[in-house]
Chain A
Amino acid sequence: MITLALRMLFNDRAKYLMLVSGVAFASLLMIQQSGVFCGLMSWTYSSLRNLRAPIWVMDPKVEQVNDPKPLRDTDVFRVRSIDGVAWAAPLYTGNVQGRLPNGNFKLVQLVGLDNNTFTGAPGPEKFLAGSLEDLRLPNTVIIDDFAVQRLSDGLTNPDGTTRKIGVGDVFDINDHEARVVGIVKAYRSFTGGPYVFTTYDRALQYAPPTRRMLSFVLAAPVEGMDPAVIAERITRESGLQAQSEANFRHLTLFWFVKNTGIPISFGTTVLLGLIVGLVISGQTYYTFILENARSIAAFKAMGASMPLLIRMLITQSVVAGLIGFGIGVGLAAGFGYLTAPKGQPPFFLLPEILFGVAGFILLITISAALLGVIKVARMDPDTVFRG
């Protein structure tokens, strides 16, 4: 009977397509919007992904990685002196204006790495051109792949054709020369400015001077120690705030969730997807039940039990829902595939999103089926004898 129930559904082409389309659209909307939301949220902690260090030490008032409060330079030494700390290095991060060859200005995310160790610098596997060691040369910077797009305005070849910025090219940061010696692949920053890496001392020259310039102290525990434990010890003994990388990532992410309208905006769209899916599939399936009311009453008259009818209705609805969900996932993945090369809009499809949306779709389809079940339960088998 379950097979017959599915054939009843599949052979009613118009209803079936409507039902599947409704669920597919709802799935697409929920997955795509959730994916873009996660992509956007992943941008908020890009600095933590681009600058790898097990422990981040900062001013106690810092709430997230994009808004550092300056520290004293001596804080680096205080951190180094704490038992269990293997190493500690200074880091500058800040937004500064870069001037392009055509005279335009673009905001860049300036990163100043420890002069000697380049602690936190992108690994060799991230390099698309040049090398990290060249950062020891005067007035040098390493840019990310996004900077290649953003900082190439006005660059031309001798024959007048346009070209992209590359190793050896020069631009200005606050009237200081910045010569490109490397290009790396990096996660995009939330502010939209490309990453420009240089040494700590040179970053202080590029950045507008303030009384304190140190943004963070990057640190690591001695081998075998838990970063969270050492971070707690640094906090306790230095009076600064220290977070393990994972903790700081969560703090940053939830700061944006709590303090911006982004989750509400995307959440509303996801909710709309849910409602649209529920309404379309619920209404279509209910119409399907109404149109088959006499057949279902005939089944009841012929001796179909209520549990069997419920199984038939739920199977019809859930199967249509899962097919629609599959199509929705495919369309959302297609969207991600098409936008991935540009990275805009950001799309980050977590398995949790798929499981969550699958759960919502099951909820929608079972709710739709239950509407039908209520109708069928109220249907007398002797309906078939009435005109």
Chain B
Amino acid sequence: MSDAPIPAIQISHVSKSFGQGQALVEALKDVSLEAFLGEMFFLVGPSGCGKTTLLSILCSTLKPTSGNVKVLGTDLTAASNRRLTRFRREHVGFVFQQFNLIPTLTITENVSVPLLLAGRGASAANRLAKEALDRVGLGDKIALRPGKLSGGQQQRVAIARALVHSPDLIVCDEPTSALDSETGHQIMEILDEVARDSKRCVIVVTHDPRILGFADRLAEMEDGRILKITTGTAHATG
């Protein structure tokens, strides 16, 4: 038996273009990479380099123009839209830059959404959502609406929502860009703990140099290509 890392994401020669003719934009050009369970994998690079497009393809909200995408053993390039919807519902947790919490619902209701989508009963979803909020330190605020919370607290709610249904892949789009340095650090500590203790693959798209220290590996992107993949300081320090 070996401790070899288990691949969560395997993509090879993926390209993605938008538009046609003179308006054609090649967002991704022949991208290949692998990411593993228990790993914090960062996609970094300047605006417009294709990292968000790559993230969308990894979590199956966008289909590539060419190439192969295999996530958690599922070939996403061959799957139907219905299958992809089910795949996201069961295997992917999302943390968005703008949190995307529903302002008219309480944070418990917000966190329960992935469970309800998966067909869990309301009372079970409510209980598990409260437990998830407790894990991110918001157990005393379960009845509040997002508008009553700070940006950092809202992002923690979003993390609780991303984790509540125990997905193996968590995708984070600029999770700290709307937060101050200290709060961003706290958020990354939570995500880091999730990756390591729960053996999940956490993909982070970021511009924020303050959090690069949390990466196990970083893919630096430019003009739709991966320039290089380097090992992060998190890995170096163990």
Whether, in the assembled complex, A302 has its beta carbon less than 8 Å from a beta carbon of chain B, the answer is yes
Contact of A11 among B90, B104, B114 (CB under 8 A): B104
Docked-complex contact B117 and A304, CB < 8 angstroms: yes
List chain A residues, Cβ under 8 A from B104: 7-8, 11-12
Q: Which chain B residue lies CB-closest to A306?
A: B85
Docked-complex contact B102 and A302, CB < 8 angstroms: no
Contact of A385 among B52, B82, B89, B117 (CB under 8 A): B52
When chains A and B are docked, how far (Å) is the Cα of A155 from the Cα of B59? 90
Q: Which chain B residue lies CB-closest to A16?
A: B104
List chain A residues, Cβ under 8 A from B94: 298, 301-302, 384
When chains A and B are docked, how far (Å) is the Cα of A300 from the Cα of B59? 12
Most central of A298, A303, A381 by chain B CB within 10 Å: A303
Docked-complex contact A1 and B55, CB < 8 angstroms: no
Docked-complex contact B98 and A294, CB < 8 angstroms: yes
Contact of B100 among A1, A3, A298 (CB under 8 A): A298
Would A385 and B61 be within 8 Å (CB), given that A4-B105, A294-B100, A305-B82 are in contact?
A: yes
Whether, in the assembled complex, A283 has its beta carbon less than 8 Å from a beta carbon of chain B, the answer is no
Docked-complex contact A298 and B86, CB < 8 angstroms: no
When chains A and B are docked, how far (Å) is the Cα of A384 from the Cα of B87? 17
Q: Which chain A residue lies CB-closest to B113?
A: A302
When chains A and B are docked, how far (Å) is the Cα of A387 from the Cα of B118? 28
Docked-complex contact A305 and B56, CB < 8 angstroms: no
Q: How far is the CB of A296 from chain B (nearest CB, A)?
A: 9
Count of residues in A whose CB is under 8 Å from the partner chain: 27
Docked-complex contact B86 and A303, CB < 8 angstroms: yes
Docked-complex contact A305 and B85, CB < 8 angstroms: yes
Docked-complex contact A303 and B117, CB < 8 angstroms: yes
When chains A and B are docked, how far (Å) is the Cα of A382 from the Cα of B61? 5
Q: How far is the CB of B121 from chain A (nearest CB, A)?
A: 11
Contact of A4 among B88, B92, B116 (CB under 8 A): B116
Contact of B62 among A12, A295, A299, A382 (CB under 8 A): A382
| Binary A-proximity of B159-195 (CB < 8 A = 1, otherwise 0) | 0000000000000010000000000000000000000
Docked-complex contact B117 and A7, CB < 8 angstroms: no
Most central of A8, A304, A305, A385 by chain B CB within 10 Å: A385
Tell me the A278-333 residues at the B interface (CB within 8 Å).
Answer: 292, 294-295, 297-305, 308
List chain A residues, Cβ under 8 A from B96: 298, 384-385
Contact of A380 among B61, B98, B109 (CB under 8 A): B61
Count of residues in B whose CB is under 8 Å from the partner chain: 32
Would A301 and B59 be within 8 Å (CB), given that A8-B102, A295-B100 are in contact?
A: yes
List chain B residues, Cβ under 8 A from A297: 100
Whether, in the assembled complex, A342 has its beta carbon less than 8 Å from a beta carbon of chain B, the answer is no
Q: How far is the CB of B40 from chain A (nearest CB, A)?
A: 19
Q: How far is the CB of A1 from chain B (nearest CB, A)?
A: 5
Dominant secondary structure at the A interface:
helix
Whether, in the assembled complex, A211 has its beta carbon less than 8 Å from a beta carbon of chain B, the answer is no
Q: How far is the CB of B123 from chain A (nearest CB, A)?
A: 12
Q: How far is the CB of B77 from chain A (nearest CB, A)?
A: 16
Q: Which chain A residue lies CB-closest to B59?
A: A301
Whether, in the assembled complex, B122 has its beta carbon less than 8 Å from a beta carbon of chain A, the answer is yes
Q: How far is the CB of A282 from chain B (nearest CB, A)?
A: 21
Contact of B102 among A292, A380, A387 (CB under 8 A): A292
Contact of A384 among B100, B112, B113, B122 (CB under 8 A): B100
List chain B residues, Cβ under 8 A from A7: 104-105, 109
Docked-complex contact A301 and B88, CB < 8 angstroms: yes
List chain B residues, Cβ under 8 A from A292: 102
Docked-complex contact B88 and A302, CB < 8 angstroms: yes
Contact of B88 among A11, A303, A386 (CB under 8 A): A303
Q: How far is the CB of A14 from chain B (nearest CB, A)?
A: 11
Tell me the B78-112 residues at the A interface (CB within 8 Å).
Answer: 82, 85-90, 92, 94, 96-98, 100, 102, 104-105, 109, 112
Q: Which chain A residue lies CB-closest to B52?
A: A385
Tell me the A214-271 residues at the B interface (CB within 8 Å).
Answer: none
List chain B residues, Cβ under 8 A from A305: 82, 85
When chains A and B are docked, how far (Å) is the Cα of A381 from the Cα of B52? 13
When chains A and B are docked, how far (Å) is the Cα of A301 from the Cα of B102? 14
Q: Which chain B residue lies CB-closest to A305?
A: B85
Contact of A1 among B88, B116, B173 (CB under 8 A): B116
Contact of A303 among B55, B56, B90 (CB under 8 A): B90
List chain B residues, Cβ under 8 A from A385: 52, 55-56, 61, 96-97, 173
Q: How far is the CB of A166 from chain B (nearest CB, A)?
A: 64
List chain A residues, Cβ under 8 A from B61: 300-301, 380-382, 384-385
A–B Cβ pairs within 8 angstroms, 16 of them: A1-B113, A3-B122, A4-B112, A7-B104, A300-B85, A301-B59, A302-B94, A302-B114, A303-B87, A303-B88, A304-B89, A380-B61, A382-B61, A384-B94, A384-B173, A385-B96
Seed contacts A3-B122, A385-B61, A385-B173; 13 additional CB < 8 Å A-B pairs: A4-B105, A4-B112, A4-B116, A7-B104, A11-B105, A295-B102, A299-B117, A301-B59, A302-B88, A303-B87, A303-B90, A384-B94, A385-B96
Q: Which residues of A contact B (CB under 8 A)?
A: 1, 3-4, 7-8, 11-12, 292, 294-295, 297-305, 308, 380-382, 384-387
